[in-house]
Amino acid sequence: MVCGEYRKNKMALIQLSSASKLSLVQQIVEQITSLIDKGALRAGTKMTSIRLFARQHLISVHTVAEAFERLVALGYLESRPRSGFFIKRPRPVADKRNPTEKFARAFDHLWQLRSHLINEPGLLNVTSGKLPKEWMDTDMVKASLKSVAAKIDSGMMQYGDPYGYLPLRTLLQSKLGDLGIYCQADQILMTQGASQAMDLIIRYLLRHGDKVLVDDPGYFNLFSNLQMQGIEPLSVRRNHDGPDLDMVEKLAQQHRPSVMFIQSVLHTPTGSTISPGNAYRLLRLSEQYDFRIVENDAYADMLSEQVPRLATLDQLSRVFYVGSFSKTLFVSARVGYVAAPANAVKDLANMKMITSITSAQLSEKLVFHALTEGLYRRWIDRLKTRLSDSMIETEDMLRPLGFQLFCRPLGGKFIWVRHPNFESSSDIWKLAADAGIVLAPGKVFRYGMQDTPWFRLNVCYGGEPALANLFKSIC
């Protein structure tokens, strides 16, 4: 009887409301998980029966049954045949240390990636590449999902084409043509984001011990991938108009690198874009010293004006061109692609089959519908306007405080910033961490992790009062 009264009293703590934005099922799940996490419901205790719970809260048994099944799937309850539902052990107590301390105790190139994924309430992440949640166009996603669902057939339950969804690849032919890059569908391989595209290219073009040219500062995840596969990066200083070509030539003469990895447009972290003259000379150097170029153009659709790519000038002869929709559509879709010579794409497709069989056809169809129904174009137009406004707002906040910008980007969401009072951006990182703000020190964007006064800011968060207050207090 005591046990029954215990359950009854605890279930009385659950308050359901028809006015809540959450469904009744979600309300039950969230409140029971909270009681279990806090230890208010003891492990091994039998739950109130579905019918009694429904009667107590004046809801349907189907609603309660669905909630309990979700709790089983989440590991909070266990179902015992002919006995009912029982509470499992409480979840491990969360680490109560300062959230910034938990993932930033040791810096490496994955520090920045981990900061992308941190989701601590009350923690402001101004260095992440993520767009604010309130910026995302959920209506576009819903409409695209609806279009895909309306055309689901048995083929959707099978493996897709290893090259990727053909209608999307055909559409990308036209999209690349708008950039002046002319290719056939068999020169395009769909991938799980730009990261898989880069990984496949590294495996295809390079071997352990090879040397490659990389931007300094540059893309942190690329550095980690190269290190993992035993490739030696040679850092090339990034200037306002692209890579330092004198350094490129000197390193090419001394080391004979196999490949140069570059973000020619809206480079991360600096936001800089290569000039036409710089691009032309770089291609001449690649021919002279016989190295390939891998051009990562993941932020292409955020560019505010038309700029020729290296692949435009080269027409996929020596250049492997990488694109993605993960940065602009939504990161969970993980849809990217690589355009390259047809024989290379055939080999890359074979490698893709070995490592992952094929890419997610459902995600590729989702992107296809967003593109063909005009939803994506309208979203990008709104996004570029919003980013431009945020860029101006962030600059207006920074300049009076004495901050210096590496360059004025032609779009996108990143700026590379320094303050003359700080010789190391690690010092600013520490002050930001104390204020509950995640701000990556610039060294995580350098292959050798050398200290630097520069750091990256996502302008989407430039209007946050907490960030402005921090900078005012330290400058």
Written as tens digits, the pLDDT of the chain (475 aa) is: 445 554 555 566 789 998 888 889 989 999 998 888 888 888 888 998 999 999 999 999 999 999 998 888 888 899 898 889 999 865 554 444 444 444 344 456 666 666 655 556 668 999 888 888 888 888 887 888 888 778 777 666 677 899 999 999 999 999 999 999 999 999 999 999 999 999 999 999 999 999 999 999 999 899 989 999 999 999 999 999 999 999 999 999 999 999 999 999 999 999 999 999 999 999 999 999 999 999 999 999 999 888 989 999 999 999 999 999 988 887 777 899 999 999 999 999 999 999 998 888 888 998 998 899 888 899 999 999 999 999 999 999 999 999 999 999 999 999 999 999 999 999 999 899 889 898 989 999 999 889 999 999 999 999 999 999 999 998 8
**242, 279 in Cβ contact below 8 A?**
yes
| 182/412 Cα distance (integer angstroms) | 25
CATH 3.40.640.10 location in the chain: 138-375
Residue 152: per-residue pLDDT:
75
CATH code for the part of the protein at 138-375 = 3.40.640.10
CATH 3.90.1150.10 location in the chain: 99-136+377-474
Q: 132: which residues sit within 8 A by CB, 6+ positions away?
A: 460, 461
Residue found under tokens 């153009």: 297
DSSP assignment of 385-408, as one string?
A: HHHHHHHHHHHHHHGGGT-EES--
67 sits in which H/E element: helix 61-73
Write 197-200 long-range contacts (CB < 8 A, 24+). 197/322, 197/324, 197/336, 197/337, 197/338, 198/222, 198/225, 198/261, 198/294, 198/296, 198/322, 199/225, 200/338, 200/348, 200/351, 200/352, 200/355
Q: Is the peptide bond before 81 cis (omega within 30 degrees of 0)?
A: no
**251, 260 in Cβ contact below 8 A?**
no
| 316/423 Cα distance (integer angstroms) | 42
Q: 189: which residues sit within 8 A by CB, 6+ positions away?
A: 163, 164, 197, 200, 337, 338, 339, 340, 345, 348, 349, 352
Residue type, 288: Q
DSSP assignment of 339-380, as one string?
A: E--HHHHHHHHHHHHHHHSS--HHHHHHHHHHHHTTHHHHHH
Residue 123: per-residue pLDDT:
82
Tell me, yes or no, if the pTM score tops 0.85.
no
| DSSP annotation of 1 | -
Residue 120: per-residue pLDDT:
61
CATH topology of domain 99-136+377-474: Aspartate Aminotransferase, domain 1 (3.90.1150)
**415, 406 in Cβ contact below 8 A?**
yes
CATH code for the part of the protein at 2-87 = 1.10.10.10
Write 25-29 long-range contacts (CB < 8 A, 24+). 25/63, 25/66, 25/67, 25/70, 28/63, 28/64, 28/67, 29/67, 29/70, 29/71, 29/74
